[in-house]
Structure 1
Amino acid sequence: EQKKNITYVLNGTTQIQSYVKQLIDVTKSWNCSDVTYTTVRLEDFFADIKEQALGLVEIYHQKIDWKAEQSDKKVTIAYDPMFRAVMNVIQNAVEHTKENGIIYIDAKEQDGRLTFIVEDSGSGFTKEALLHGTEQFFMDDTSRNGEAHYGMGLFFAKTVAEKYGGGIKLSNSENTGGARVEIFFLSSQETS
């Protein structure tokens, strides 16, 4: 009985730590003075996201179907918050896709707009989630996977996207039947 209680307390502590980290990330995203803009090769930024996503799906025994623009183009972006925002969208997709499922990711830059489309092969968003899924603390009672969430991941992604001239759009994928999230940011293209 004691082991069971200790395990329960430890799991609760881990969840609280995760929740506090998410709150800190959201708070940091609102603080303009912490932002560092970086000029990077677009291909390198995409490769960094792909590498992180591959590590994530490996843990969940899933696969990624990755499609990204191949380009030596350089862009100036708020690297860290944008990276975290895209990874939050991917994390959400991974958590709502069953083992051996596929996450589809399309990354591109066009006319100063950096866009990521992430589609999962889960059960898709409910009507309620389509309307409120990017709101702070929104947790769909009819959760797509039954795991505990705090309603922060997509809220954080939306906050960052909007801060950098972009946005986020939730829908259900016509291709997979699962959820589809499109997140985009404005970027400054470097002229060589």
Structure 2
Amino acid sequence: LSEDCREMAETIVSSSRRAEGYVAGLLEACAGAEEEFQSCDLSLIFKEAFQNALPLAASKGILLKKESDLRGTASLQKEHFLRAVGNLVDNAIEYTPSGGTVFLKGSMTEKSWQLTVFDQGPGFTKEALAHGTKRLWRGDTGRSLDGHRGLGLWIAAQVVKSHSGELELNNWERGGMVTIRMP
């Protein structure tokens, strides 16, 4: 395949996976489906989340960077948790202009750990900071064909909450940032 065709194919595959993740997450949330909690190596979870995002970032011309000192294990519903992180990274990639950077940071504190996604997009509006994790909330309701349905942040927030964690929306000097704080 030519380079252009290969890039289009990667974009289609990545978009299909994203849509599949949203549908699966919504069905799980509605049906109350349970995935077993398992002991997961935090450094491997971080690495997998990063690797999962590379194709979409490349297809959008976004540089994906990472830094992590995550260590140890945590009891997680692995696929749910990876989908939640994937939703955050996908949003960051979507809102960062081509040529920009999305940065994933994993860090340990004395009694907890956290994962933060930084983008170089327009950041969150005051309304998005207040309501962005509510089900079906969309900041710009005029964008009906943009692929956003107000589910990604809500699903991520529900998954994090089911793990006794917190999801926090913020801005930094170059764009938006979303932090998952876990006990």
TM-score (norm 2): 0.79
Could you say which residue in structure 2 is the equivalent of 1:166? Answer: 165
Counterpart residue type for residue 69 of structure 1: D
| Count of matched residue pairs | 167
Whether contact under 8 Å (1:38, 1:79) holds in the other structure is yes
Equivalences for 1:101-120 in 2 at 5 Å? 101-111=100-110, 113-120=112-119
**Per-residue CA shift, 1:108-132, capped at 9, x if unaligned?**
3445533111110011111111111
Whether contact under 8 Å (2:108, 2:114) holds in the other structure is yes
User: Is 1:180 matched with 2:164?
Assistant: no
Whether contact under 8 Å (1:29, 1:81) holds in the other structure is no
* Structure-2 separation of matches of 1:70 and 1:115: 8
Whether contact under 8 Å (1:158, 1:167) holds in the other structure is yes
| Alignment CA distance shift 1:30-1:81 (3 Å) | farther
Whether contact under 8 Å (2:38, 2:77) holds in the other structure is yes
Computed over aligned residues only, the root mean square deviation of the Cα atoms, in angstroms, reads: 2.7
* Structure-2 separation of matches of 1:30 and 1:142: 23
Whether contact under 8 Å (2:70, 2:108) holds in the other structure is no
Could you say which residue in structure 2 is the equivalent of 1:52? Answer: 52
User: Is 1:34 matched with 2:34?
Assistant: yes
For the residue of structure 1 that corresponds to 2:90, the secondary structure is helix
Identity %: 26
Q: Which runs of 5+ in 2 are unaligned?
A: 1-14
**Per-residue CA shift, 1:169-190, capped at 9, x if unaligned?**
111113x1x111111334xxxx
Q: Which runs of 5+ in 1 are unaligned?
A: 1-13, 187-192
How far did 1:151 drift? 0.3
For the residue of structure 2 that corresponds to 1:34, the secondary structure is coil
For the residue of structure 2 that corresponds to 1:157, the secondary structure is helix
Counterpart residue type for residue 58 of structure 1: A
| Alignment CA distance shift 1:138-1:32 (3 Å) | closer
**Per-residue CA shift, 1:15-36, capped at 9, x if unaligned?**
9x94x86254134146666221
| Alignment CA distance shift 1:126-1:33 (3 Å) | closer
Equivalences for 1:79-90 in 2 at 5 Å? 79-90=78-89
* Structure-2 separation of matches of 1:148 and 1:43: 31
Whether contact under 8 Å (1:103, 1:121) holds in the other structure is yes
* Structure-2 separation of matches of 1:107 and 1:137: 28
Could you say which residue in structure 1 is the equivalent of 2:74? Answer: 75
| Alignment CA distance shift 1:90-1:22 (3 Å) | same
* Structure-2 separation of matches of 1:26 and 1:169: 21
